[in-house]
Structure 1
Amino acid sequence: MTTAATATVGSAAATGPQSTAVRRLLALGRAEATLLLRNRTAMFTALLLPLFLVVTLRGTLAQQAESNPGLDVDSLLVYGSVGMMLSFVVYYNLTAAYVGRRGELVLKRLRTGEARDIEILLGTAVPSLALGLLMAAVIGIGGTVGLHLSVPVNPLLMLVGLVLVLATMIALAALSSAFTRTVESAGITTLPVMLVIQLGSGLFFPLETMPAQLADICRLLPTTPAFQLIRVGWFGTDGSAAATGFAGSWGAAAPHLVTGAIWLGLAVWGAVRYFRWEPRR
């Protein structure tokens, strides 16, 4: 009787919900989302600060349009706003999250369970990714409708660029966390990358308004290629040539695809090489 009961219980347990990568990612994401919602500083940085920068961006673009009459201010405003939103919500917030969970020994404890390293890192990133994509979608769709912008020339290319942006930012956040001792110091250690993203990726200052040599250098920066892919997919041009259609956009995007893939590989290598799972003693 006891043997039969034990076998029944064992059989029921075996047929219960199995632990899969998706289940583990969702569980880690829910836990991280709860912590994010409770952190007022993180929510302020994620929601209010980017909106303030959007207002600043409009004024900056309006001034540049005075010396560049052909500049499409409305298109660049929406494009730049989406980029800035993703940089703050994903890169900055995720860097602080990795540092905070490391200091609380959460990452170290998670490694003793079933979750693999990549699942822990991606699970921690789920809330930032979801919030960033939601806000970017609101700005992109709202701005497009409100400003009567044209529909994307190549949505597939936009998707490739978005995936490349997010993957690069996750890797850069993991890499930056290795050089960040506390959550409070994240604002300092992430500043160089934030400046590169905001000023060098064509978000605040379009590359076509820069001197030619400076623009060529900026096109080789880590996040510029991915953002340029989004711009080409949306408007059919990165500002260096006339707009093209669906077929022509792939040719315009080819250099950005190559450069972006190289930078993503370097960022992932750096994250794997230097990321720390517990505080340095």
Structure 2
Amino acid sequence: MEQTSTISLEKWRQISKAHFSSITPYYDQGRAFEQGRPWVEEIQRNTPVGELDWVLDVGCGTGLFATEFSRQMKARVIGIDPARAMLRHALKKERPSNLNWSQGAAESLPFANETLQAVFLSQVWHHLIGQEGAGREFLRCLKPGGGLYIKTYSHAQLKARWDLREIFPELMPLMLQIYPDVSHMSTLLKEIGFSSVTTKSTSKEDFMRPSQMLKLMREKAWSMFSFLSPEGIAEGEARLNALIATGDQPVLYPEVHLLVIARR
């Protein structure tokens, strides 16, 4: 396997695409700790009362956030994803009447100009090869005053992660390469035409047992596990099994995110 620190973005996209097409049964398990309410509140807080009519969840996967949004908002919600397998799984879930699914890519959205009030992406931006093209599509589809909400990680947050520092250090260079620097994201979005770009870091105390991390790795529930070399897998398993053998004590694993908000 080529060195993760020098992998091309094209190769990253190819492997990621195959990953998301194959891990549908485990996708929700790897995101069981995710909550939609904080992001609903952020969108509502940044939208004038009565104007939140259409919300798009880009790269919606099996619909975790889109479903939560539709339950907590009066707006019409659309979840869009390029992976047919993900959407098939989403269709099996109970669907609120204000929620619809669409298969498609961020770089070519099937919506008319100025139709959406909010566009949301959760850990999707770094998977987009055509980030500039996708950004222009978001700008085109957003109404004046509408907002783009990108949930991602800052480099500082990645460097602080227990799993990347102590269990799978092989992945750290790749994560820092693939996740764009915040200043780069802000500059790109402003150059595309967004009127303002702000960022907000969030953190919620949480814990994870080594056995939980081992299960996530074996199921490749997170895309980063698809990039581990055989040596990285063996070393990570050995470290986790050593912790499990000494009691499988919970490790501090705070739920941290960076929210980038770009206003049209």
TM-score for both structures, normalised by structure 2: 0.26
TM-score for both structures, normalised by structure 1: 0.25
Structure with the higher fraction of residues in strand conformation = 2
Q: Who wins on radius of gyration, i.e. which is larger?
A: 1
